């Protein structure tokens, strides 16, 4: 989608853009440091680093650079860009792209900290079929933030219908392969259903 059509302004003065990128990097570095301080492992406890880990519920899930749940983080980027579009329209003035991206990184970084808290880890284990989930490695969390930023950039450049179709495709693909996706993830955290949990557990 075009930036102007999305309620997000295009280019900002170089100094402002540079400052926002600096802040975005500081947020990511802050999340990195906070996760380490929380006791999260820098890489997979197995001692190896994989670019892709295809299993859905084992000791390597959410420990490597990418896995099936990386698709959810790309969709996060789509959604954050859409939210920035809506805010820009409601306030009657387009948001700067750098400011919108900074806000998205801030939210995604905050989610990574919350997701790796004992409360959310226990919630995943109790309400979903991911009974082996032990939180993310710091590597995986940083990659998740990067995948969100990728989705944000794609949403800026691609037509709306392409972004919507891409999100639907990724949700259906993950649903077919691992019986989980962003939609079910949110559903099972907020309103767990035994029928869904049993269906997911049938292939794990």
Over the stretch 124-141, which tens digit does the pLDDT of each residue have? 888 887 777 889 999 999
pTM, 2 dp: 0.89
Closest to 68 in 3D by CA, of 58, 83, 80: 58
Q: What's the pLDDT score for residue 133?
A: 82
Q: What's the pLDDT score for residue 186?
A: 95
Low-confidence ranges of the chain (pLDDT < 50): 2-6
Q: Give the pair of three-digit tokens for residue 58.
A: 């084992």
Q: What's the pLDDT score for residue 95?
A: 81
User: Ramachandran region of residue 64, left (φ > 0), alpha (ψ -120 to 50) or beta?
Assistant: beta
Q: What's the pLDDT score for residue 5?
A: 47
């Amino acid at each position: 989608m075009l930036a102007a059509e999305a309620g997000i302004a295009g280019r900002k003065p170089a100094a402002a853009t540079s400052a926002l990128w600096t802040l975005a990097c500081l947020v990511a570095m802050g999340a990195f440091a906070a996760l380490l301080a929380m006791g999260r492992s820098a890489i997979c406890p197995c001692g190896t680093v994989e670019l892709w880990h295809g299993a859905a519920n084992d000791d390597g899930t959410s420990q490597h650079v990418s896995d099936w749940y990386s698709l959810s983080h790309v969709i996060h980027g789509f959604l954050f860009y859409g939210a920035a579009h809506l805010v820009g329209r409601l306030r009657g003035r387009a948001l700067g792209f750098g400011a919108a991206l900074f806000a998205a990184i801030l939210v995604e970084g905050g989610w990574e900290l919350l997701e790796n808290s004992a409360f959310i880890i226990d919630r995943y284990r109790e309400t979903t079929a991911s009974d082996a989930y032990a939180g993310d490695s710091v590597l995986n969390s940083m990659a998740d933030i990067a995948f969100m930023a990728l989705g944000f950039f794609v949403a800026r450049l691609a037509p709306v219908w392409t972004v919507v179709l891409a999100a639907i495709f990724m949700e259906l693909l993950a649903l077919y392969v691992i019986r989980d996706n962003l939609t079910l993830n949110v559903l099972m955290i907020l309103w767990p259903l035994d029928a869904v949990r049993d269906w997911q557990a049938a292939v794990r």
